[in-house]
Structure 1
Amino acid sequence: MSGVVGAVLQVIVIAVGSPLLVGVMRQVRARLEGRAGAGIAQPWRDLRKLMRKEAIAPHGTGWVFRAAPPLLAGTALVVAAVVPLVTTASPLDGVADLFAVTALLALGSVALALAALDTGTAFGGMGASREMTVLALVEPTILVSIFALSIRVGSTSLGSIVTATVEDPLSVISPVSVLAAVALAIVTIAETGRIPVDNPSTHLELTMIHEAMVLEYAGPDLALIEWASAMRLSVLLGLLASLFFPLGISGASTGALALLVSVIALVVKVTLMGALLAAGEVFMAKLRLFRVPELLAGSFLLALLAVAASFFLA
């Protein structure tokens, strides 16, 4: 029963807290840039405003354009339910496989890219092409970096990997974990469209990737996309924290107090990582588009080195 409650709690925390995480990151950037900022709750106010507007679609678009926002949000919610963020005893642990989670993340990205192509605009096609280039390098790196951690466990289940780390915390102090952590951190930045790979606050046609794909969306559809993007950021940061710093994650036989502590630990870890990411963006410039594959290829090489080290150091 505690596993069911924990799974429900982590979905609620991700769904409700993800826009607030974006607000925290914007506020951190604003303070470091000498601005007052709009407040932590501003993303929720933006979503509420978008939900009240009329849903419109460009002429000539079909069901692909309309299906992308709910599919993107749905996959983000499913990933939030199966990834071990609060508890490792979730009833969905059987489907919390490394390959299944990566495929769900890729499904949302592909759906949004197809919707951008469905609009028939130059910016949509450009953004979709760039997104697929990034995706082709990001998804293999996620698979290989987490696979390096699964070798010592003997399972690709994320719950099993996190459980093994909870039982042996010193296992993260190894070359395998360091290499995998750096690789996964880089692809997390790329997957969520942050600097130096992409700038979430830009509307420069020559540099944007994610924003180019959603230019034709408005109203509730745009609200779903923004909400889903925030949830994907929270889930990936939470997964990074669970794999390499699983402090506070509850197990099978835990009570209500332990689950509450786990939720607080998740909120603190993800907020700190988000604030650190936002602070780094202030002092970092966006890479030129043709340099992004070099960065992602480097992260893939680190993931391969982590796999090789896991066999040599086993």
Structure 2
Amino acid sequence: MIEKIVYMVCQVLLVLFVAPLVEGIIKKVKARLQNRIGADLVQPYRDLFKYLRKDAVLAKEASWLTRTTPYLVFAVVLGSVSLLPMAALYSPLTFTGDIILLVYLFAVVRFFLAITALDSGSAFGGMGSSREMIMSAICEAALLLAVIAVLMQVGTTNLGVIVESLLTGGRDLFNYAYWLSFVAFLLVVIVETGRIPYDNPDTHLELTMIHEAMLLEYSGRYWGLLHWALLVKQILVFTLFIDLFIPWGIAKEFTGLAIFEGSIFYLLKVILLGILLAVIETLYAKMRLFKVPKLLVVSMALSVLAIVLQIAV
């Protein structure tokens, strides 16, 4: 019991520490692909330290909701870390239906960010929250369809059992349903992390921003907590993708050496996925706002095709 508690604490600390590093790697790779030097890999750590030690400035119309949401979002995201198998098959808070709970926790984060954006009375905040809610109605459906396309192969919603089943049964790399669901979920990863071509995390142009518009009213330690929470959420989305499609290398035994080796493989897979997103962001431009839903519709269509193929087989 003590070993499992220590493992849960170490898993949370690992994600908290690695999340800014992965963001730094993504930005560095993007810079090098664009023939720029870019900031060093530890710049996100400096930014977080700078934000967290500054005082926050809020609008006079802001209520208690604006002050509470950063802590609530940070707590929800940290709680979600315990639902996912990362270095080992064991996940601290695993139970039947945990993958569905994870989808709903992502929705909770989105909901509170949206209503908080309206709380300050900012025009940009209202614009961003309305766009985010419209896109989330399609994004959550696309995410669930992509998950269902994988769940049909194992018949359970328990992430630990899913990963174990995929490791035991293996993945047929020549199976069309696998690649269809792979691409569908990759599109969902791009949307959930707010990256090009869906959104640009580095811009504040009012005509194009979706997610960033909801956060413009925050500053200081509140913005630092939200920024850190969103970096952790990015790692969670990466981990879910890895568990469903690239589970190889995860520790099957709950021993110190096996967990250490599993942690190395896990970090490598997260970094490689981050590099892949950096390459995609470099190859494609930001989509026009009214064409963004088409990206999610493509993901849903691919997931439906994967489901139909599995039923037919």
Task: State the TM-score bracket (shorter-chain normalisation).
Answer: over 0.9
Look up the match of 1:299: 299
Amino acid at match of 1:32: L
CA-based RMSD of the aligned residues comes to 1.6
- In the other structure, the counterpart of 1:68 is 69
1:6-21 paired onto structure 2 within 5 Å: 6-21=7-22
Match status 1:222 vs 2:223: yes
Distance 1:48 1:55, change over 3 A: same
Change (3 A) 1:87 1:173: farther
Contact conserved, 1:162 with 1:242, CA < 8 A, in 2?
A: yes
Whole-Å separation in 1 of the counterparts to 2:236 and 2:279: 19
Aligned-partner Cα distance in 2 for 1:42–1:203: 20
> How many residues align structurally?
312
Give a deviation string over 1:24-79, Cα, whole Å, max 9, x none.
11111111222221110001100101111112221111122122212222222122
The aligned residue for residue 152 of structure 2 is: 151
- Are residue 164 (structure 1) and residue 159 (structure 2) matched? no
Give the deviation of 1:5 after TM superposition. Answer: 4.5
Q: CA 1:20–1:96 in structure 2 vs 1: closer, same or farther (change >3 Å)?
A: farther
Secondary structure of residue in 2 paired with 1:55? coil
Counterparts in 2 of 1:162 and 1:134: CA distance versus 1, 3 Å: same
Aligned counterpart, 2:257? 257
Whichever residue aligns with residue 289 of structure 1, its letter is L
Q: Which deviates more from structure 2 when the two are superposed, residues 300-309 or residues 189-198? A: 300-309
Residues in 1 aligned to 2:174 and 2:84: alpha-carbon distance in whole angstroms? 23
The residue that corresponds to 1:38 in the other structure is: 39
Quote the Cα distance in structure 1 between the aligned partners of 2:97 and 2:82.
Answer: 9
Unpaired stretches in structure 1, ≥5 consecutive residues: none
Indicate how the Cα distance of structure 1 residues 87 and 68 shifts in structure 2: closer, same or farther if over 3 A, else same: same
Moved over 6 A (4+): none
Matched with 1:83 is 84
| Alpha-carbon distance in structure 2 between the residues aligned to 1:308 and 1:214 | 40
Give the structure 1 partner of residue 177 of structure 2. Answer: 176
- CA deviation after TM superposition for structure 1 residue 208, in Å: 0.6
Gaps of 5+ in 2: none
Show the counterpart of 1:268. 268
TM superposition shift of 1:199: 0.3
Shift of 1:171: 4.2
Letter in 1 for 2:263: V
Counting only pairs closer than 5 Å after superposition, residues 182-201 of structure 1 correspond to structure 2 as: 182-201=183-202
Shift, 1:160, TM fit: 1.3
- Aligned CA distance change for structure 1 residues 285 and 262 (closer, same or farther; 3 Å): same
The code of the aligned residue for 2:68 comes to A
Instruction: Work out whether residues 96 and 156 of structure 2, in 8 Å CA contact, stay in contact via their aligned partners in 1.
Output: no
2:149 paired with 1:129 = no
1:72–1:228 contact (8 Å) kept in structure 2: yes
**3-state secondary structure, aligned to 1:109:** helix
**Partner residue of 1:282?**
282
Q: Which amino acid aligns with 2:221?
A: P
Q: Indicate if the aligned counterparts of 1:47 and 1:223 stay in contact, CA closer than 8 A.
A: yes
Conserved in 2, the CA contact under 8 Å of 1:138 and 1:190?
yes
Partner SS state of residue 171, structure 2: helix
CA contact (8 A) 1:9 1:263 kept: no
Residues 197 and 286 of structure 1 are in contact (CA less than 8 Å); yes or no, is this contact kept in structure 2? yes
**Whole-angstrom distance in 2 between the partners of 1:24 and 1:152:** 34
Bigger shift: residues 123-132 or 91-100? 91-100
- The secondary structure found in structure 1 opposite 2:95 is helix
Q: Is the 8 A contact 2:90 2:254 kept in 1?
A: no
**TM-score with structure 1 length normalisation?**
0.95
Q: CA deviation at 1:89?
A: 1.9
> Sequence identity, in percent?
40
C-alpha deviation, 1:219, in angstroms: 0.4
* 1:170 alignment partner, SS class: coil
Confirm or deny: 8 A CA contact 1:7 1:87 kept in the other structure.
no
**SS of structure 2 residue aligned to 1:201:** coil
Q: Partners in 1 of 2:134 and 2:92 — Cα distance?
A: 35
CA 1:96–1:227 in structure 2 vs 1: closer, same or farther (change >3 Å)?
Answer: farther
Separation (CA, whole Å) in 2 of partners of 1:15 and 1:96: 25
Separation of aligned partners in 2, 1:32 and 1:203 = 22
